[in-house]
Structure 1
Amino acid sequence: MQAEYLHQYLPLVASTGLVLSPEQRATLQVSLEIVKKNYKFSRVYFWGKILGLTADYFIVIGVETDELRGRKSLYSLNCMDWKLLPPATDEMIERSMRVKGRFMGDPSHEYDTIAVKKSDEEMASLELKVKEEERLTATIEQINREAAIVPRGAFIKTPLEQIHKNRSFGGLSVTEAGKLQSYLHFTEPVILKKKSQLVQANLEDSIDFLNSLEDDELKVFWSLQYERGSKLVILQSLLWLGFNFFHVPETSQYGSIYMGLGERNIDFPFMI
């Protein structure tokens, strides 16, 4: 959620148990303005918090020009001192996802050797040294790829192929806000999924450049519900427990936040 609206938006997801202490909110309000100025970001988002055993990681996303491609991640252990994370590569994500268990809360912590399955008969212990800082940036990227969403029409693609906020976005209607097809994955699609001819007739190239949740192979990963008498819509990811998206229909208010362990929900098959 956008940093300057943190105090306004946090209460909208408080019913899901995602809260920050008054001290943390006050500290973030000051420090994120400093982050925006020092790194020359055009916009700063509070991404959320990953819980560790000895300390928690507070995460923010800074945007330079392009809202989708020009993003940088930073973390802090005290909401005041921020450190830039390196970009996550596919190789980094693959290594980090082999690590199991809780985050320690120490960026310099190095995980033990990981057993890698080379074939059905052979297990090999390779020296895949993974530091927690590397695991942190890989986890953030993985959550962004699989859970980060925006309402349809909230962003536009310009003729120069840049992604910007749509200033004319006035929100989804109450009816449309209750449909998965009204929400788009906010990650650059490897392949834009094909639509039926009937659906294509209602699409616009400038806003339909992302895949919708309706196209997901497993739509059951999402829980959508109205709250406050249809004045608020909450979307929760059942794959990444702790990820919550909100939208106030017929307004431009929307956002998302993650507060969790930074682990995929491997128990999901037993929940359905």
Structure 2
Amino acid sequence: MDSESLPGSLEHVSGTGVVLTPEQKAALQVSLVILQGHYRFKRVLFWGKILGIHADYYIAQGIGQDEMHDKKNLYSLNCIDWNLLPPATDSSIAELTLIKGRFMGDPSHEYEFTKIKKTGTDDEAQEEEILVKCKEETRLAATIAVIDRDVAVVPRGAYLKTPLSQVEKNRSFQGLSVSEAVKIRSYFHLSEPTHLKKKTLLQQADLDPSFDFLDTLEEDIPKGSWSLQTERGSSLVVLRSLLWLGLTCYHIPCTSQYGYIYMGFGEKNMDLPFML
């Protein structure tokens, strides 16, 4: 959610239980403006909150020139003081499945888990267990990266791709029509596409390369991993992820107002295939 329109945006998703106290809202409005000036971000988003046992992490994203690739994540424990998170690596993302349990709320907390390492050639390969330590700060950065990859959502046309392959916010976006806003195919993942690259040239012929450069939610596996509902007499569309419980996206048809926020435990719903 854009920090400049945070109070109003939070009202649109309050029906799902996404709420902040008046003190937290006031602190965020001031601190995010200071944050943007300090790091010279193009704009700042309030990404959401990951609930911990002893404390909660409030997450902000600083956006640079490229809306999809030039992002920096920061966290705060009090909505005032912000700390820059290290970039998530492929190894830290792969290790997420090995770390069990909730976040503690302490960035310096260390998790210990065993990892299988193979040594030797194919015929004489041996497996050994090695003890690996991971700080909660690293786990936090990896979790945010995976949630963004899996369920960061924007309406079709909200972003465009320039001839230089840079992703920018579409300033002329005036929202989806009411009939299009209630279709799951009208919403895209704001992450590197995977299904789009597998489409044939014939399937890509009807796509606009400026707008249709992302994967649609319609292609998500398993099917039914999104809940789409209309509220206020179809004047508000709300999307909820069943894969990452706590991710909520909203869009007001025929306007440029949209956004998403995550408020949850930072744990993927691995039971989803059995729930559908």
Q: Decide: shared fold, TM above 0.5.
A: yes
Equivalent-residue separation in structure 1 for 2:116 and 2:24 (angstroms): 40
CA contact (8 A) 1:96 1:130 kept: no
Q: In the alignment, which residue of structure 1 is the partner of 2:174?
A: 170
SS at match of 1:127: strand
1:36 aligns with 2:36: yes
- Map of 1:1-272 to 2, 5 A cutoff? 1-114=1-114, 116=116, 124-190=128-194, 192-195=196-199, 200-272=204-276
CA contact (8 A) 2:67 2:169 kept: yes
Per-residue CA deviation, residues 218-272 of structure 1 (Å, 9 max, x unaligned), is: 2311111111111111111101000000000111000000000000112323422
- What are the ranges of 5 or more consecutive residues in structure 2 without an aligned counterpart? 119-125
Equivalent-residue separation in structure 2 for 1:158 and 1:128 (angstroms): 43
Per-residue CA deviation, residues 118-162 of structure 1 (Å, 9 max, x unaligned), is: 7xxx98542211110000000000000100011110001111111
Equivalent-residue separation in structure 1 for 2:200 and 2:179 (angstroms): 22
Equivalent-residue separation in structure 2 for 1:158 and 1:88 (angstroms): 26
SS at match of 1:187: coil
Label 1:255 to 1:168 Cα distance change in 2 as closer, same or farther (>3 A). Answer: same
CA contact (8 A) 2:249 2:260 kept: yes
Q: In the alignment, which residue of structure 1 is the partner of 2:121?
A: none
SS at match of 1:245: strand
RMSD: 1.8
CA contact (8 A) 2:98 2:113 kept: no
SS at match of 2:261: strand
SS at match of 2:224: helix
Equivalent-residue separation in structure 1 for 2:129 and 2:106 (angstroms): 24
SS at match of 1:112: strand
Equivalent-residue separation in structure 2 for 1:146 and 1:38 (angstroms): 30
Per-residue CA deviation, residues 16-64 of structure 1 (Å, 9 max, x unaligned), is: 0010010100000000001000000011000000000000000000001
Structure 1 stretch displaced more, 197-206 or 262-271: 197-206
Letter in 2 for 1:4: E
Query: Aligned-pair distance for 1:89?
Result: 1.2
Label 1:250 to 1:202 Cα distance change in 2 as closer, same or farther (>3 A). Answer: farther
SS at match of 1:8: helix
Letter in 2 for 1:246: Y
CA contact (8 A) 2:158 2:170 kept: yes
Equivalent-residue separation in structure 1 for 2:272 and 2:141 (angstroms): 24
SS at match of 2:137: helix
TM-score by length of 2: 0.92
CA contact (8 A) 2:59 2:76 kept: yes
CA contact (8 A) 2:195 2:219 kept: no
Label 1:123 to 1:105 Cα distance change in 2 as closer, same or farther (>3 A). Answer: farther
Equivalent-residue separation in structure 1 for 2:3 and 2:83 (angstroms): 17
- What are the ranges of 5 or more consecutive residues in structure 1 without an aligned counterpart? none
Query: Aligned-pair distance for 1:198?
Result: 7.4
SS at match of 1:209: coil
CA contact (8 A) 2:99 2:113 kept: no
Letter in 1 for 2:42: S
Letter in 1 for 2:62: G
Equivalent-residue separation in structure 1 for 2:180 and 2:200 (angstroms): 19
TM-score by length of 1: 0.94
CA contact (8 A) 2:194 2:215 kept: no
CA contact (8 A) 2:143 2:266 kept: yes
CA contact (8 A) 1:95 1:128 kept: no
